């Protein structure tokens, strides 16, 4: 047996015996090297083996953390969603003015570019107000030509080749996803999603009378495509709805190999892919991942985006490039909401011209990369050792696995009573599989005294279980 294999086996035994419990930090490479009288390269090789087998996780600036034992995979089958008003009650209570909302996926809107956008909108409004000859009319689907043209130029520069005639403007990405579901499926049909999955997606599936098939996913590998292929051999699935880049809530970004594999699976089974890409431009190293839409050779990907996560949640302006489903989706958009605000679209068109928006993205992503680290350091300091998480490389959300003794539904209510808003894990599934998980947002997390106190208080609550 090679030296690195011996060390790997030794560490595995210590993990299995509980000497190195889940969530604990392994000794540093230097300490392991000295302790076992091995070269640093040998230690690194052993740790890489343990990481490949998902027994440890590498955390930036911290080291290697022991993972929880893999729980049995849930039974994968289509099911109805019955979240009902749960998300409304959770988010409504958590976002009251006197609450510190740590769990809601709101971007930080305190940026010069956001202020500029609203001033531009006001400027356009004043021009309209002073124009006696102007006649009001609907900006009917597919939307304002100037906005779609500017957006197409932006997408061409950053993501994939497209033209303005492929774009339909929507009231945010949520409406885009809803319209996509209506275009590709009928009540009773089954949609495959990642699990855990953004609760807004689950609520949309519920409201449209669709069934959901939840694919096991994790913060390292992302969506389990083996499970998808197995499900397709068993169940009639109409579409895969995926958030492949800086996923909500897990934070993963599907690698290029698996993106290509997903496209191939969709081509083979002739199913649609709805790509929710609202976090794509929030890579902390300003790295752009190849969208599924860019790999689509059969025009079956419906690509959704918005400004809600990059600018401000109050800017209800999104878009969809629905490919072969263009006519159906354009019709559903018209009969649902008739039109989007031309005022918003024209202000957004001005924003996308030049370099202002790209400079804004550079500024916010640098800031978010610092904030996720601040949150991680505070969690490590104040929360129980059994807490596990993997820092995302983009987006604004962090998923936590809590010690098995902690019930996140109870923790949510306890924290809410103390004026702290969290998002409990069971919001993100159609059953109760994530009752030991929570989601937080680091978009506003600066490590202020109030925020640190809140994190410390939540840690004390967990210790009491």
The C-alpha atoms of residue 22 and residue 405 are separated, in whole angstroms, by 13
Contact between 215 and 265 (Cβ < 8 Å): no
Domains recognised in the chain with CATH numbers: 3-66 (1.10.10.10), 84-110+358-463 (3.90.1150.10), 141-355 (3.40.640.10)
Going by C-alpha positions, the residue among 180, 173, 169 that lies closest to residue 349 is 169
What sign has the CA pseudo-torsion 115, 121, 127, 129? negative
Backbone conformation region of residue 18, classed left if phi is above 0, alpha if psi is from -120 to 50, else beta: left
**Which regions of the chain are under pLDDT 70?**
17-18, 60-61, 68-75, 84-91, 93-95, 133-136
* Count of beta carbons in the 10 Å neighbourhood of residue 186: 11
| CB-based burial label for 154 (10 Å; 0-12, 13-18, 19+) | middle
**Parallel, antiparallel, or unpaired for β 420-421 and 100-101?**
parallel
**Residue 68: predicted pLDDT:** 65
Contact between 349 and 205 (Cβ < 8 Å): no
Going by C-alpha positions, the residue among 124, 143, 120 that lies closest to residue 134 is 124
* Count of beta carbons in the 10 Å neighbourhood of residue 235: 14
**Residue 28: predicted pLDDT:** 85
**Residue 76: predicted pLDDT:** 83
The C-alpha atoms of residue 107 and residue 298 are separated, in whole angstroms, by 34
pLDDT digits (tens, 9 = 90+) for 286-318: 778 999 999 999 999 999 999 999 999 999 999
User: CB-hemisphere CA count at 13 Å for 87?
Assistant: 20
Can you give the length of the chain in residues?
Answer: 465
**Residue 60: predicted pLDDT:** 62
In the chain, % helix, strand, coil (3-state, to 5) comes to: 45, 15, 40
**Residue 161: predicted pLDDT:** 95
Contact between 360 and 352 (Cβ < 8 Å): no
**Parallel, antiparallel, or unpaired for β 437-441 and 318-321?**
unpaired
The C-alpha atoms of residue 293 and residue 301 are separated, in whole angstroms, by 6
pTM, to two decimals: 0.86
pLDDT digits (tens, 9 = 90+) for 87-116: 666 667 656 777 898 998 889 999 999 999
């Amino acid at each position: 047996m090679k030296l690195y294999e011996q060390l790997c086996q030794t560490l595995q035994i210590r993990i299995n015996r509980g000497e190195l419990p889940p969530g604990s930090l392994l000794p540093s490479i230097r300490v392991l090297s000295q302790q076992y009288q091995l070269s640093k390269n040998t230690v690194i090789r052993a740790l890489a083996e343990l990481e490949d087998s998902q027994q440890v996780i590498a955390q930036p600036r911290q080291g290697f953390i022991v993972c929880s034992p893999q729980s049995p995979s849930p039974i994968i089958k289509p099911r109805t969603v019955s979240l009902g008003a749960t998300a409304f009650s959770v988010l409504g209570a958590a976002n009251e003015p006197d609450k510190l909302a740590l769990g809601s996926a709101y971007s930080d809107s305190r940026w010069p570019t956001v202020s500029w956008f609203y001033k531009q909108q006001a400027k356009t409004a004043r021009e309209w107000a002073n124009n006696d000859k102007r006649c009001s009319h609907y900006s009917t689907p597919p939307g304002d030509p100037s906005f779609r043209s500017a957006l197409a130029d932006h997408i061409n520069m950053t993501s994939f080749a497209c033209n303005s005639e492929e774009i339909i403007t929507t009231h945010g990405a949520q409406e885009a996803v809803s319209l996509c579901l209506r275009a590709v499926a009928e009540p009773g049909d089954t949609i495959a999603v990642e699990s855990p999955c953004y609760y807004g997606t689950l609520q949309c599936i519920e409201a449209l009378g669709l069934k959901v098939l939840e694919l096991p996913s994790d913060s390292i590998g992302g969506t389990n495509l083996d499970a998808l292929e197995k499900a397709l051999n068993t169940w009639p699935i109409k579409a895969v709805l995926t958030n492949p880049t800086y996923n909500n809530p897990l934070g993963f970004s599907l690698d290029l190999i698996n993106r290509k594999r997903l496209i191939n699976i969709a081509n083979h089974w002739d199913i649609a892919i709805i790509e929710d890409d609202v976090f794509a431009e929030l890579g902390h190293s300003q790295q752009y991942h190849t969208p599924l839409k860019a790999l689509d050779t059969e025009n079956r990907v419906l690509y959704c985006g918005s400004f809600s996560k990059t600018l401000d949640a109050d800017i209800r302006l999104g878009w969809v490039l629905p490919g072969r489903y263009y006519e159906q989706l354009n019709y559903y958009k018209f009969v649902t909401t008739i039109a989007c605000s031309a005022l918003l679209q024209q202000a957004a068109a001005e924003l996308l011209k030049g370099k202002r928006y790209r400079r804004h993205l550079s500024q916010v992503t640098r800031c978010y990369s610092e904030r996720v680290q601040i949150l991680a350091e505070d969690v490590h300091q104040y929360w129980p050792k059994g807490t596990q998480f993997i820092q995302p490389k983009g987006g604004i959300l962090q998923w936590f696995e809590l010690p098995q003794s902690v019930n996140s539904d109870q923790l949510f209510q306890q924290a809410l009573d103390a004026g702290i808003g969290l998002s409990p894990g069971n919001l993100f599934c159609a059953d109760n599989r994530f009752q030991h998980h929570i989601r937080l947002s680091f978009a506003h997390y600066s490590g202020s005294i109030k925020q640190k106190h809140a994190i410390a208080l939540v840690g004390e609550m967990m210790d009491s279980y």
